Amino acid sequence: MKDDKERRLISIIAPVYNEESTLPEFYKRIKKIIECMESKYSFKVFLIDDGSRDQSWKMIQKISQDDECFCGIRLSRNFGHQAALSAGYGLASGDALISIDSDLQDPPEVIPDLIQRWEEGNRVVLAVRRKREGETKLKLWTAKIYYKVISKLSETEALESSGDFRLLDRVAVDALKKITETHRYIRGLVGWLGFKRCVVEYDRSPRFAGTTKYSMIKMIRLAMDGIISLSFWPLRVAYISAIVLMVPFLLYLVYNLVLHLFFNVAMVPGWSSLILAVILFGAFNLFMLGVLGEYTGRIYTEVKKRPIFLVEEYCGSAVLSASDRNETDELLP
């Protein structure tokens, strides 16, 4: 076994939200991976409790007391999955960081493959789902459409079936930490970073236990974060749609004018057409006001410069020292 100073340090960050039923199995499988690779690498595992209401934090404390490779970070409330990931990227050390959800849908057994591709010189290694067991056809269909839409609209490439299971080299992590926006869509931001990257495919499993914590509302909110934070196209819809909608009504107006001037036909009263036009343009104006309001609200949020997350408590010997925490906090908004 190499000396600790010779082994490269790899940190694993795992958001936890009400996962008391999966944490024991998650710990067991992560520990098995660490034991298989500890001759070459040092590992730190950061379990980030995103305001859990069950016994998750107590279990994290117990794990961190029994195993020095594990530590816990408890956020002051539920800030959301992307904020919990940001806490991991902001506070974890290491030559490379691997993010993985603690619900075991993303199998930890893929971690050695991610590390191998990183050793080949890739700064970003994305785990892409080949199969997605335990998910409804509706979710798979909407996800497919969403990735196609965002890849067309955004300034960055979004790989279909890629989630938040990935490895980032320290260079990529430091670059990601410079992005301080509040409404964050990390999988899109990782694509925006660039850097040499590759893909590792895997089969996603159904949840080991419990139910999904990502409700339909949360998924819609995440999708909006992705589209709005990575693209100006929703704003451009305004003038494009105005032109498209204007053309048929102008043609209709010219048609009635020609009938009146050259064929002596009285202009059609057209009250129904007029009402249709008013309703159509009125609905469109309200829609665009909503889009403008969404962008304006996000600008307002960014101007306030509130922190992305707040840490309430740490546990475990592998966690940052007090001085390191202060230095890291200065880098966070």
CA gap 52, 74 in Å, rounded: 9
Say how far residue 133 (Cα) sits from the centre of its chain: 20
The pLDDT value given to residue 275: 60
The answer to whether 80 and 15 have CB atoms below 8 angstroms apart is no
For residue 311, pLDDT over 80 is answered with: yes
Highest mean pLDDT among 26-30, 78-82, 162-166, 243-247: 26-30
Most confident of 113-127, 219-233, 241-255, 304-318: 113-127
Contacts (Cβ under 8 Å, ≥6 apart) of 86: 184, 186, 308, 309
CA distances from 289 to 142, 230, 236, 282, 297 (A): 25, 20, 13, 11, 12
Summarize pLDDT for 87-143 with one digit per residue, the tens: 999 899 889 999 999 888 888 999 999 999 999 999 999 988 877 665 666 665 666
- Among residues of the chain, what percentage have pLDDT more than 70? 63
Instruction: Report whether pLDDT(306) > 50.
Output: yes
- Contact (Cβ atoms closer than 8 angstroms) between residue 185 and residue 230: yes
User: Can you read off the two tokens belonging to residue 79?
Assistant: 């800030």
pLDDT tens digits, one per residue of 182-225? 777 787 788 888 888 888 888 876 655 556 655 566 666 666 66
pLDDT of 324: 47
Exposure string for 159-185, b = 16+ CB within 10 A, e = fewer: bebbbbbbbbbbebbebbeeeeebbbb
Measured between alpha carbons, how far is 299 from 322 in angstroms, rounded to an integer? 33
Q: How many CB atoms lie within 10 A of CB 110?
A: 20
pLDDT at 328: 46
pLDDT in the model for residue 44? 93
**Average pLDDT of 315-333?**
51
User: What's residue 299's pLDDT?
Assistant: 74
Q: Are 311 and 74 in contact (CB under 8 A)?
A: yes
User: Which residue did the predictor score with more confidence, 6 or 209?
Assistant: 6
Please answer whether residues 33 and 12 qualify as being in contact, where contact means their C-beta atoms are separated by less than 8 angstroms: no
- pTM as predicted: 0.70
**How confident is the model at residue 160, as a pLDDT?**
54
Instruction: Give the mean model confidence (pLDDT) for residues 144-153.
Output: 62
Which residues are paired to 97 by β-bridges? 11, 168
The amino acid at 314: Y
Cα-to-chain-centroid distance, residue 61: 27
Question: pLDDT band for position 272 (50/70/90)?
Answer: low
Q: Which of 8-17, 99-108, 157-166, 206-215 shows the lowest mean pLDDT across its residues?
A: 206-215
Residue found under tokens 């016994």: 55
Residues 6 or more apart in contact with residue 96 via CB below 8 angstroms: 8, 10, 11, 115, 118, 167, 168, 169, 170
Residue 263 clears pLDDT 60, i.e. is over it: yes
Distance CA 47, CA 101 (A): 10
pLDDT for 147? 61
Where do we find the tokens 């117990």? 62
Q: Residue 84: is it exposed, middle or buried by C-beta count within 10 angstroms (0-12/13-18/19+)? A: buried
The predicted pLDDT at position 23 comes to 93
Mean pLDDT of the chain: 77
pLDDT in the model for residue 294: 72
CA distances for 170 relative to 36, 237, 260, 306, angstroms:
23, 38, 73, 25
| Measured CA angle at 274 (ends 273, 279), to 5 deg | 100
Alpha helices in the chain (DSSP H): 23-37, 56-66, 81-91, 111-119, 137-153, 170-177, 186-193, 216-230, 233-262, 271-304, 322-331
Place of tokens 């490779």: 69
What span, in angstroms and rounded, lies between the C-alpha atoms of 297 and 180?
Answer: 16
Least confident window among 115-124, 188-197, 231-240, 322-331: 322-331
